[in-house]
Structure 1
Amino acid sequence: MRRLFYKGMLADTVEITGSDAHHLMHVMRAKAGQQIILVDDANQVARMEMTAFREDAVTLTLLERLEADTESPIDLILAQCLLKSDKMDMVVQKAVELGAVGVIPVRSQNCVVRYDAKKAAARQQRWQKIADEAAKQCGRTALLEVAPVTDIKSLLESENGQQDSVLVFFYENEDQQTVKDYLQKITVRRIVLLVGPEGGFSLEEAKAVEEAGGKSVTLGPRILRAETAALTAMSVVQYECGDLG
């Protein structure tokens, strides 16, 4: 059943406008009597019936409130160094499916792609649309937020002083502390995963992250592609600390 996210609170009658209304009427060719799942800003979920149509709006009538919270008990955030566009698209989509609440695109020294300010803003909008659509398809009860593109220095500054939070740094030169061993030592609500680009992290970046309190861990003895590392990292964290275990 089609799922929509509503910027407001559930009520007996709700009016959908904008792109969602256009999609229902002109893409799905929806008709009166058809049903959808609606999620509001408070993560409340309901089964709704389409009861009326105007040129730019669809009226929904409440049928049933649902107990359907699909959110992880942890706030998982992926700080992903920029990848080639198709890989970054895929990582954002899978982050939604794996229960992350945010993706932070990060510029780093060895990133293959380089965006000016205009292109970076356009990419952020694209990734947000991908995330929103993925949330509808996989049954999320909250939308993932894609942050503006930032750099490692700014990321570390923003993480400084965060409460009940850790920054986990996946580093190819780490050979002592596994991600499993580290995760079994912590009990925090918010976990930020920093994953490098295709070219890996520079020594200067690795040193800066560790000096800022990032915890260096390894994902095992094999060298993983950047997109594989991101998906593996999120899966391992959700298994150990979230809702995949």
Structure 2
Amino acid sequence: MPKYFVDKADISADTIIIRDDNYNHIKNVFRLTVGEQITVNDKLGNDYQCVISSVEQNIITATIFKTYVATTEPVTNVVLFQSLIKGDKMEYVIQKAVELGAAKVVPIVTTRCVVKLEDDKKTRAKVDRWNKISEAASKQSGRGTVIEVLAPMKYTQALELAKNELEVNLIPYEKQVGSGIKSVLQSISARNIGIFIGPEGGFEDKEVELAHSYGLTSVTLGKRILKSETASIAVLASLMYQMDEMQ
């Protein structure tokens, strides 16, 4: 059953108003019509099973027949702190992070980032696009809410955020000896976890040292050097598996 995200303001006691991209997707892509069922989410973790009751110009009205808390959200709260990377790789990471169950994606600016977002207007446009990609991935993967992608922040700001809001924070580092990802994950019982991923050139040594001063644990992902986008997916998938979020 297709799933769509709408603002809470468009949901009343027994009806939901559907507009814009969702309208186009329902009417012109899936070609659904009156009497067919859809699932709508209020972006706050609640699902509504509905029947389409009318299709008008630019607006679809659906009648609610069942409401329940979405069951697809992981118990483990994982925040991905992803260093900015080139081209569509950042978009790919966001999409896959949402599919795998990340609760939030925080783009970070580190020393070796090739991508520079210095213009406020361009940055806002980029963040808007990232959030549209996140919403599409949330819809496709059946998430219980739309996963937020924050505006890029400085590395030190991200470290401060992680220290204050999360219980355990990991930073994969190619020079790390011992502390393999498997053994580290097996030792974690916390459910609020941050993952810091470096850019194309990796983290500088001093950045990892700074991370340690904020309480982060550096881990190795094995003998091979992974690309930034590969490392993000590998760590997220390993973490979700270890936390029994793939049952």
CA deviation vs aligned residue, 1:41-66 (integer Å, no higher than 9, x gap) = 44222321111234342210123446
Is the CA contact (8 Å cut-off) linking 2:43 and 2:144 kept in structure 1? no
CA deviation vs aligned residue, 1:71-96 (integer Å, no higher than 9, x gap) = 11100111010111211111100001
* Residue from 50, 58, 63 that aligns with 1:61: 63
Other-structure match for 2:7: 7
Describe the SS at the equivalent of 2:175.
Answer: coil
Is the CA contact (8 Å cut-off) linking 1:72 and 1:242 kept in structure 2? no
Other-structure match for 2:117: 115
Q: Which runs of structure 2 are paired with 1:129-208 in the superposition (5 Å)?
A: 129-162=132-165, 165-208=167-210
Is the CA contact (8 Å cut-off) linking 1:92 and 1:131 kept in structure 2? yes
Unaligned runs of 5+ in 2: none
Q: What's the RMSD between the two structures over aligned residues?
A: 2.0
Deviation at 1:35, TM superposition (A): 2.1
Which one-letter code corresponds to 1:237 in the other structure?
A: L
Describe the SS at the equivalent of 1:77.
Answer: strand
Other-structure match for 1:210: 212
Other-structure match for 2:129: 126
Determine the C-alpha separation between the residues in 2 that align with 1:238 and 1:161: 22
Is the CA contact (8 Å cut-off) linking 2:49 and 2:66 kept in structure 1? yes
CA separation of 1:41 and 1:91: change in aligned 2, threshold 3 A: closer
* Residue from 32, 41, 46 that aligns with 1:44: 46
Aligned-pair identity (%)? 34
Deviation at 1:227, TM superposition (A): 0.8
| Greater Cα shift, 181-190 or 105-114 | 181-190
Describe the SS at the equivalent of 1:183.
Answer: helix
Which one-letter code corresponds to 2:138 in the other structure?
A: A
Determine the C-alpha separation between the residues in 1 that align with 2:156 and 2:244: 28
Is the CA contact (8 Å cut-off) linking 1:10 and 1:44 kept in structure 2? no
- TM-score (normalizing by structure 2): 0.90
Is the CA contact (8 Å cut-off) linking 2:76 and 2:243 kept in structure 1? yes
- TM-score (normalizing by structure 1): 0.91
